[in-house]
């Protein structure tokens, strides 16, 4: 009796052999107790493997549902932004251009009056400033002259005092001997 | 994927993540047995996919590329944990000295019983040597064909089948005490005439 290889037996258990080979091995298992025992043991192990079922994926790691929830609102928000943007752009483009010549003529007279007023004010300020400077210069000259006179008076007085001191020093006392 | 590669299209990348996040995370969980590490590894897988998007060849299948990245990350993670003594060492190639999973003690509550069985299977699977565990997970849980697993791992299809045989053998030895005490073991053996191969499970891929 030709026993199937273990590799063929495993492939048979997982149904990966061609149909005729599957049938051939099935017939062999029906007839061979040793091979049947081996296949039965492996089959039990395979059934035990099925006992390990995995838990569902952690929800915190999955971001797809959040995207699915917000997707419609996001679409509507984008649509609203586009509508407002196109409306603003259309309004800007469809508005008539302003008449710059008329606007300039309207404001020209006022601008000229304003310019004349500013020039007058500046001239008055300049005159006032000149007067102030002249007054300050006259005051300073007068102060200088007064100071000079007082210094000369002081010098004369000082000279007279010194002469008196010299005379007193040169005089002798009558009862010295 | 070509939109991601050529235009850095974030929506296209989000679609890829949405499509493959579950399977990749499940693969990482089966390979590491740790839910939070699996979540981190799945995210790292997509980060690495994005970083290496220029290296992807349009002729290659995206799924194959993704599986490969995730498996490499799981391999690195398991090696790091083993080096730091976080997990018990896997059994040797012969499996002779491997400690068996403790005997399954049924409880009155069916849900608790199912959870215990799942824990035992998970613990046993983590003790299967990694190359064999990889094939077991990809074939049994992720539903890849042996040929597809060969493409992902870059090995011949015969090698994949050999690893599957070794993986199933190791797992059967590890689960033997539990199998002898589980309700499934007490059920009558399938009738010879009614023997049928396992149905395909790749519907969701």
The verdict on B62 and B148 lying in the same domain is: no
Number of domains composing chain B: 2
Residues of A in contact with B26 (CB under 8 A): 54
The verdict on B156 and B104 lying in the same domain is: yes
What is the interface pTM, i.e. ipTM, of the complex? Answer: 0.71
> Cβ-count burial of A131 within 10 angstroms (0-12 exposed, 13-18 middle, 19+ buried)?
exposed
Q: Cα(B29)–Cα(B36) distance, rounded to whole angstroms?
A: 8
Q: Is residue B1 part of a domain?
A: yes
Q: Is residue B63 part of a domain?
A: yes
A40 contacts B194 by C-beta, under 8 angstroms: no
Quick check: A40 and B189 CB within 8 A?
yes
Q: Cα(A62)–Cα(A56) distance, rounded to whole angstroms?
A: 11
Q: Is residue B115 part of a domain?
A: yes
The verdict on B112 and B170 lying in the same domain is: yes
Report mean pLDDT in 10-residue bins for chain A, 177 residues.
Answer: 88 92 92 91 88 67 50 78 86 75 85 92 92 92 93 90 86 63
Which residues of A make CB contacts under 8 Å with B?
A: 6-7, 9-16, 22, 26, 29-30, 36, 39-49, 51-55, 57-58, 61-62, 64
Which pLDDT band, with edges at 50, 70 and 90, does B32 fall under? Answer: confident
Q: Cα(B25)–Cα(B45) distance, rounded to whole angstroms?
A: 9
The verdict on B117 and B79 lying in the same domain is: no
pTM score? 0.57
The verdict on B110 and B124 lying in the same domain is: yes
The verdict on B3 and B60 lying in the same domain is: yes
Output the pLDDT for position B156.
94
Residue B204 has pLDDT above 50, yes or no: no
Q: Per-residue pLDDT tens for B70-121? A: 999 998 888 887 777 665 444 444 444 444 444 444 555 666 777 788 888 8
Q: Is residue B202 part of a domain?
A: no
- The nearest alpha carbon in chain B to A28 belongs to B192
Residues contacting B160, CB < 8 A, separation 6+: B135, B146, B149, B150, B153
Output the pLDDT for position B1.
65
Report the CATH number at residue B25: 1.10.1740.10
The verdict on B112 and B26 lying in the same domain is: no
Stretch B154-180: mean pLDDT, rounded? 89
Which residue among B42, B66, B87 closes a domain? Answer: B87
Stretch B142-168: mean pLDDT, rounded? 93
Q: Is residue B193 part of a domain?
A: no
The verdict on B97 and B179 lying in the same domain is: yes
Domain hosting B159: range is 91-186
The verdict on B74 and B1 lying in the same domain is: yes
CA angle B58, B63, B66 (to 5 degrees): 95
Report the CATH number at residue B168: 1.10.10.10
Minimal Cβ distance to A7: which of B136, B165, B192: B165
């Amino acid at each position: 009796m030709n026993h199937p290889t273990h590799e063929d037996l495993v492939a048979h258990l997982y149904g990966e052999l061609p149909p005729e080979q599957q049938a051939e091995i099935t017939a062999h298992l029906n007839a061979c107790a040793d091979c049947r025992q081996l296949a039965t043991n492996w089959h039990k192990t395979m059934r035990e493997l099925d006992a390990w079922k995995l838990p569902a994926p952690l929800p915190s790691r999955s971001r797809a549902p959040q995207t699915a929830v917000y997707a419609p609102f996001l679409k509507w928000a984008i649509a609203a932004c586009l509508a407002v943007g196109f409306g603003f752009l259309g309004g800007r483009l469809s508005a008539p251009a302003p008449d710059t010549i008329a606007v300039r003529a309207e404001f020209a007279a006022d601008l000229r009056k304003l310019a004349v007023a500013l020039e007058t004010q500046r001239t008055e300020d300049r005159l006032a400033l000149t007067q102030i400077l002249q007054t300050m210069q006259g005051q300073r000259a007068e102060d200088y002259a007064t100071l000079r006179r007082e210094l000369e008076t002081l010098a004369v007085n000082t000279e007279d005092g010194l002469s008196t001191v010299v005379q007193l020093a040169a005089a002798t006392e009558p009862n010295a001997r | 994927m070509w939109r991601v590669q050529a235009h850095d299209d974030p929506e296209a990348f989000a679609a890829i993540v949405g499509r493959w996040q579950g399977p990749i995370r499940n693969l990482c969980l089966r390979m590491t047995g740790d839910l939070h590490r699996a979540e981190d590894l799945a995210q790292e897988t997509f980060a690495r996919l994005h970083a290496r998007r220029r290296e992807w060849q349009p002729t290659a299948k995206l799924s194959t590329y993704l599986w490969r990245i995730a498996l490499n990350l799981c391999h690195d993670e398991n090696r790091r944990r083993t080096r730091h003594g976080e997990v018990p060492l896997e059994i040797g190639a012969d499996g002779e000295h491997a400690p068996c999973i403790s005997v399954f003690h049924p409880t009155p509550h069916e849900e608790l019983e199912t959870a215990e069985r799942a824990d035992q299977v998970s613990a046993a699977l983590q003790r299967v040597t990694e190359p064999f565990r990889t094939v077991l997970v990809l074939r049994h849980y992720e539903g890849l064909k042996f040929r597809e697993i060969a493409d992902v791992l870059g090995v011949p299809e015969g090698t994949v089948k050999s690893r599957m045989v070794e993986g199933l053998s190791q797992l059967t030895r590890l689960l033997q005490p539990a199998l002898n005490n589980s309700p499934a073991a007490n059920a009558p053996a399938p009738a010879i005439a009614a023997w049928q191969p396992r149905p395909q499970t790749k519907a969701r891929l």
